[in-house]
Amino acid sequence: MKVNKAIGGYFELELIKGTEFHPEALSLNTGRNAFEYILRAKRYKTIYLPFYTCEVMLEPLEKLGIDYEFYKLDSDFFPIFDFERINAESALIYTNYFGVFTDNITKLKGIKNLIIDSSQSFFSKPFKEVDTFYSARKFFGVPDGAYLYTDTYLDRRFEEDVSVDRFDHLVGRIDVDAETFYSEYQKANAMLKNQPIKKMSKITHHLLQSINYGEVEKIRNRNFNYFHERFNGINKLDLNAGAGDAPMVYPLLVDNGDKIKNILISNKIYIATYWPNVIHWVDEKSFEYELVNNLVCLPIDQRVNIEELQIIVDLVLSV
């Protein structure tokens, strides 16, 4: 009998062997490649996508030579779009922004050829017969990884990804600090550009099997509600996070959001701006332009405790 893996010797990283949150989905290397998988499988010729999106979403469209057209959002993040324009060869992609707009997907699920980008809503459930993909990196300390629910499959085998070269920032933040290894984080992100579709790597599978998802959901919902109770009166967004959504961030839209972001960052509270590329696509008076400049995406992830939440509240209110 042939031995297929090493027995004995030095130990590898030991992780709990549990169950992933999306065990029935296709497990791929990145969210943009899950999108590419859909495009290849469904053979769409035109895609309608929101102006308010990450520029990496254009990568598979340009790779495959697929036409695309942007649409605007209203103040409730619902598409301003004539859905009758969608035909057999076209599709509309909608993002569940921050994991708090699942109600919009419920309204949209009846339209034909709908694709849901759930990269920001890992814990939201997919709707039947609606192509939906998720990104693990936005919610957990993993080097890559995506999940895809679809009813159309490609008749080809994909190589398994190898993530060992995109791991330094994950262990470096634990052993040293976030600032020292931020450049490694940027390098790891850059390495994911223009990657072919691959199966999720072994290490990412193992990491995602070791997470207590119930506890993560509980903490994220608690933290979201903590901010919502304190900021609902000043937030220009009408938010309604449903039970179990476990949002990615708390999105706070105020007129002086740019000042708040600067104050938080100067106090080592790191927040992302989604997405700087959008200001080059839209008018300065648009809702999307305001989101880039004044939306403050407050951290509510499983690492943040109540004392840290209150520090953030105090800093925001000081502005």
Is the four-CA dihedral 57, 162, 12, 176 of positive or negative sign?
Answer: negative
CA distance 308 to 316: 13
Q: What is the mean pLDDT of residues 135-147?
A: 96
92 and 177 in a single domain? The answer is yes
What CATH number is associated with residue 185?
A: 3.40.640
Q: Which of the listed residues 183, 209, 235 is the one where a domain comes to its end?
A: 209
R_g (Cα) of the chain, nearest Å: 20
| Predicted pLDDT of residue 40 | 98
Total number of domains constituting the chain: 2
**pLDDT tens digit sequence for 243-253:** 568 999 999 99
| Predicted pLDDT of residue 243 | 54
When the pLDDT of each residue in the chain is averaged and rounded to a whole number, the result is 94
| Predicted pLDDT of residue 262 | 95
Count of C-beta atoms within a 10 Å radius of residue 126: 20
306 and 185 in a single domain? The answer is no
Whether the per-residue pLDDT at 189 is higher than 60: the answer is yes
Q: What strands, in cross-sheet order, belong to the sheet with 67-73?
A: 26-28, 146-149, 131-135, 114-117, 90-95, 46-50, 67-73, 79-80
Whether the per-residue pLDDT at 3 is higher than 80: the answer is no
| Predicted pLDDT of residue 11 | 82
Residue-range definition of the domain harbouring residue 188: 26-209
Whether the per-residue pLDDT at 39 is higher than 70: the answer is yes
227 and 183 in a single domain? The answer is no
For the residues of 175-202, what is the DSSP string, one character each? HT-TTTTHHHHHHHHHHTTTPPP-BPPH
**pLDDT tens digit sequence for 59-87:** 999 999 999 999 999 999 999 999 999 99
Q: Which of the listed residues 209, 242, 274 is the one where a domain comes to its end?
A: 209
And the tokens for 286? 């648009």
205 and 295 in a single domain? The answer is no
- 146 part of a folded domain: yes
- pLDDT over 70 for what percent of the chain? 98
**pLDDT tens digit sequence for 12-22:** 888 889 999 99
| Predicted pLDDT of residue 206 | 96
User: In 43-147, where does DSSP find H-type helix?
Assistant: 58-64, 102-108
Q: Phi and psi dihedrals of 21, rounded to 5?
A: -75, -30
- Which one is predicted more confidently, 244 or 287? 287
